[in-house]
Amino acid sequence: MNAILIAAIVLAAVGIVVGIGLVFIGTKFHVDVDPRETAVREVLPGNNCGACGYAGCDAVASAIVVGDAPASACPVGGAAVTDKINEIMGTHAEAAARRVASIRCNGTCEHTSTKNNYVGIRDCRAVALSALYPRDCDYGCLGLGSCAAACPHGAISIQDGIAVVDQEVCIGCGICVKECPKQLIELVPYGQKTVVRCSNKDKGKDVKMVCEVGCIGCRLCTKQCESGAITVTDNLAHIDYTLCEDCGKCAEKCPQKTISLL
Amino acid sequence: MSTLIMIIVGCALINNVVLNQFLGICSFVGVSKQMKASASLGVAVIFVLTVASAVASLLYDYVLKPFDLDYMKTIVFILVIAALVQIVEMFLKKTSPGLYKALGIYLPLITTNCAVLGVALTNVKNEYNFIESVFAGLGTAIGYTIAIVLLAGIRARIDESAIPRPLRGAPVVLLAAALMSIAFMGFGGLS
């Protein structure tokens, strides 16, 4: 009984001494922090994931207050957290818009033809280097799924010979963009319906020979677009997503249905 | 004097805390991705371990031993080390913001580094006095720093080489650590 009592008292005494010491040193070595930093830290998610590129929520909070990072620095918190930080900081930064991957090719098995039956390594990069290039179109999706294999969230699948992105699952990390040997993948705003689903830079006649839905560079879409978002370079239409209003008029007029609504 | 040198060499190389006693593996594998972070953590560990061994030794000699509370040492040491790291952090934040920034998240992480507690307990087991404890702590921390900086260097090389796919990431790091451990067994001949 006595031994337990002594143990408890000694441990309590050590604890109290340590506690008093901490309080004393805490007040003595107190460093004044900007009250806004504490407030910003409060509204951040606080799971220290590091997705913002800083060491943790404390680090990004101080960077926001100093002005090194925008109020929208936290990609996890999204618009809700950005609004609160804007309120604290008196800024008007907008949350980064969500972007998703989009494949610039619609050359499914029924739309295009193949010249070889490729039986080598099941990897797009290997095929792209191979002499036995299977598709007639030199620009299109190879459909072996290097992007799907690289996608950390399983958002890409191979359907009917081409890669298809599930916009709901895609987080826009851009890993697949680097992976595609044909540079077919671009990041588009989430919800964007009007996209050019072709990358063929050949002249219209050559495109028509290899694909039913390839861009022939006819420029009908540029005439339809009221906001001037579409340009045609190298016989291929490009949409500037900062200008595009996603009205879909170009898709209606496109004779090849290259520009199609997803 | 020669005893103290022997203690430092013994703790740093012969009984290396990571590669021979397998303490502090989590930060050893977790933080060794970058050379700079590894070196920062090494410096922080040297600082904290030396101070922690001194405080733990004093506490054991003048509080626990007189009351015959030998069996309480683990819990008391945990308490004291956690408080100590907090104090060191506050002290650095006020007096040397540069060093505080450089150590960053690694300073509070040391609280959960089992190497710190391990050294305090080993010192008691070896019946070191105050001076010997401080040098044992210093030696152990130097050994930890050597190990983590070496592994960081190896990992920098690993990143640039073609590793078979199943071994990429954690497996090849553990293999490298195992080979380092075997290499460090060679220092056993010194004792």
Q: Based on the domain organization, do A217 and A179 belong to the same domain?
A: no
Say whether pTM exceeds 0.90: no
- Give how many domains chain A has, as a whole number: 3
For residues A44 and A8, membership in a common domain is answered with yes
Dump pLDDT digits (tens) for A45-94: 877 766 677 877 888 888 888 888 888 777 767 777 888 888 888 776 66
B96 shares contact with chain A (CB less than 8 Å) = no
Q: B86, B92, B95, B111: which to substitute to probe chain A, counting the most A Cβ within 10 Å?
A: B86
Residues 1-40 of A with CB under 8 A from B: 3, 6-7, 10-11, 14-15, 18-19, 21-22, 25-26, 29-31
Is the complex ipTM more than 0.85?
no
Across the interface, whether the CB atoms of A22 and B86 are under 8 A apart is answered: yes
Of the three residues A49, A72, A89, the one that is the final residue of a domain is A89
Per-residue pLDDT tens for B39-95? 888 888 888 889 899 999 998 998 888 888 888 888 888 888 888 888 888 887 888
Q: Are residues A66 and A26 in the same domain?
A: yes
Of A10, A21, A55, Cβ closest to residue B104: A55
- For residues A84 and A119, state if they share a domain: no
Residue B161, chain A, CB below 8 Å: the answer is no
CATH code (residue A207): 3.30.70.20
Type of residue numbered A134: P
Q: Which of A157, A191, A225 is the last residue of a domain?
A: A191
A198 and A184 share one domain: no
Chains A, B: CB pairs < 8 Å: 47
Q: Which domain holds residue A206?
A: 193-262
Q: Are residues A168 and A234 in the same domain?
A: no
Segment A234-253, tens digit of pLDDT: 888 888 888 888 888 888 88
User: Which CATH number characterizes residue A34's domain?
Assistant: 1.10.15.40
pLDDT > 70 in chain B, percent: 98
Q: Domain ends where: A70, A89, A108?
A: A89
